[in-house]
Amino acid sequence: MDDRNVGYAQGIGSSDIGAFADNLAESLDRQMKIAFEPEERKSLRRFSSTEVASLLRVSTSNLRNRHKDGSFPEVHTDNRGHRIYTAQEIDKLRDILGRTGKNAESYRPGRREGDRLQVISVVNFKGGSSKTTATIHLAQRYALRGYRVLVLDLDPQASLTTFFGFRPELEFAEGGTIYDALRYEEQVPLSAVIQKTYFHKLDMVPAGLMLSEYETETANALARRVQPIFAERLALALEEVEANYDIVLIDCPPQLGYLTMAAVCASTSLLMTIIPERVDLASASQFLTMASGVLEVLYSNGGIGSYDNFAYLLTRFDTAISTQQDLAEWIRELLGDSVIKTPFVKSSAVSEAGLSQKTIFEVDLAGTKNRKTYDRALESVISFSDDIEKMIQSAWGRGGVNET
């Protein structure tokens, strides 16, 4: 009997698996091209005047009047005659307000002289605790709010990278990821792997499978006493570009390996995602115990480990589940103000958008089936982003941005 006909996986050699991988990569590539036609790349939609007013924190009537009196340039209108704005145009208006508005300073939310670059790592052991989803939503929100944002994908799974329309398995198979800026030989400057993106004011550094090699390479480098050690390499890489950004967000892999530790050591603040469930709390506590152990060792060797903020974001929070509500309350009692006020609610609007590598800022509202669900998710994302924005502003010694 021919063995090849028995069962699924018998008689399959490595070349078959290789061919399967190639087919899969090509097919994904085709799918991505179909999804992003006609540009083949993602592009950023235009924003309504209500959205723009809220982003600029002015009233819609103020916005309208400024167009009428000519102090704001005209923009495109949609087929119903409503004004629609590109992200670049929103920035232009912000610029004008920053020169001529009341409290002009407050329209320039970014760093001022002496403010240190905010590097925020999103961490947790637990797979699926919304690290990537929270990171990409925060990054987009802050870019739209007018900050210069850099987002780093530090996870070999590279799911953040795919949110930008990249196909890591094809585009970065030969290099071009954060790995190249961290490696112990043939290291390149960070600027060489930074990608401009379709999203105004948002740059990114991709990840790829090569990153998984970094754990063993780091162990070897430590044994050989190669300098600088992993704990300093990311921070040093960031120094090259620090003047170009206000905020850096780092999406970490679901483990406390050398990559996560490198991020933790390069950060000015840490954001830990926690789903209010028992198993998640156990892994969060485990993560913290291990991280503090490692940090203690590093701290005693050099000034690593002093943070502006260490905050917890409740994620995938299902208010309909009473045990989640109870646990959330308990977490708040335990951790107090370090828990971000607004949780990231669990919502099908978020997971469905995620299926096509979109955030809820990007979904086509016309095609949105359940507007209420969408609005609720959007409100949650905007509010927790604003909570964290206040945290960033307070690290710069300012109490909130153009708050009314």
Ligand X SMILES: Nc1ncnc2c1ncn2[C@@H]1O[C@H](COP(=O)(O)OP(=O)(O)OP(=O)(O)O)[C@@H](O)[C@H]1O
Q: C-beta of 255: minimal distance to Mg ion in Å?
A: 11
Q: Which amino acid is at 189?
A: P
Check binding of 344 to ligand X (CB under 6 A).
Answer: yes
Ranges of H-type helices in 4-84:
14-35, 49-56, 60-68
Nearer to Mg ion by Cβ, of 90 and 152: the residue is 152
What does 346 bind: ligand X, Mg ion, none (CB cut-off 5 to 8 Å by kind)? ligand X
Instruction: Identify which of residues 107 and 344 has a Cβ nearer to ligand X in the complex.
Output: 344
Which of 272, 268, 281 has the alpha carbon at shortest distance from 312? 272
Which of positions 99-138 make contact with ligand X (CB under 6 A)? 127-133
140 touches ligand X by CB under 6 A:
no
Read off the tokens for 16. 């078959």
**Residue 47 or 317 having the CB closest to Mg ion:** 317
133 binds, among Mg ion, ligand X, none (CB under 5 to 8 A by kind): ligand X
* Binding piece for ligand X, criterion CB under 6 A, among 32-40, 210-218, 282-290, 340-348: 340-348
Q: Does 159 bind ligand X (CB under 6 A)?
A: yes
DSSP summary character for residue 37 = T
Task: Decide whether 23 or 351 has the Cβ nearer to ligand X.
Answer: 351
Using the Cα atoms of residue 207, residue 208, residue 212 and residue 216 in order, give the sign of their dihedral: negative
Question: Is residue 293 helix, strand or coil?
Answer: helix
Q: Tell me, residue by residue from 285 to 324, as one string, x for binding to ligand X by CB under 6 A and - for no binding.
A: ------------------------------xx--------
356 near ligand X, judged by CB under 6 A: no
Q: Let me know if 166 is exposed, middle or buried by CB neighbors in 10 A (0-12, 13-18, 19+).
A: buried
Is residue 161 near ligand X by the rule CB under 6 A? no
Contact pick of 121, 129, 132, 315 for Mg ion (by CB under 5 A): 132
Distance between CA atoms of residues 123 and 352, nearest Å: 23
Nearer to Mg ion, 127 or 400 (CB): 127
Q: Are 178 and 211 in contact (CB under 8 A)?
A: yes
Q: Which does 60 bind (CB under 5 to 8 A by kind): ligand X, Mg ion, none?
A: none
- Mark 73-112 with x for binding to Mg ion (rule: CB under 5 A) and - for no binding: ----------------------------------------
Q: Cβ 216 to Mg ion, closest distance in Å?
A: 21
Quickly list DSSP for 132-200.
HHHHHHHHHHHHHTT--EEEEE--TT-HHHHHTT--HHHHSTTS-SHHHHH-SSS---GGGT-EE-SST
Tell me: does residue 342 bind ligand X (CB under 6 A).
no
Per CB under 6 A, 155 contacts ligand X: yes
Q: What are 43's strand-pairing partners?
A: none
Whether the Cβ atoms of residue 235 and residue 265 lie closer than 8 Å to each other:
yes
Q: Any contact of residue 385 with ligand X (CB under 6 A)? A: no
Closer to ligand X at the Cβ: 128 or 175?
128
351 counts as binding ligand X under rule CB under 6 A: yes
With CB under 6 A as the contact rule, the residue among 32, 138, 327, 350 that binds ligand X is 350
Buried b (16+ CB within 10 A) or exposed e, 63-87: beebeeeeebeebeeeeeeebbbbb
CB-CB contact of 292 with 279 (8 Å): no
Taking the C-alpha atoms of residue 284 and residue 127, their distance in angstroms, rounded to an integer, is: 11
Question: How many residues are given for the chain?
Answer: 404
Stretch of 7-15, 329-337, 350-358, 384-392 lying at the interface with ligand X (CB under 6 A): 350-358
The residues, ordered by sequence, that sit 6+ positions from 55 with a Cβ below 8 Å of its Cβ are 47, 90, 144, 145
Residue 351 partner contact from ligand X, Mg ion, none using kind-dependent CB cut-offs of 5 to 8 Å: ligand X
Q: Does 98 bind ligand X (CB under 6 A)?
A: no
Report how far residue 250's alpha carbon sits from residue 247's, in angstroms, rounded to the nearest whole number: 10
Euclidean distance between CA atoms 186 and 183, whole angstroms: 7
| Residues found near Mg ion in the complex (CB under 5 A) | 131-132
| Residues found near ligand X in the complex (CB under 6 A) | 127-133, 155, 159, 254, 315-316, 344, 346-347, 350-351, 354
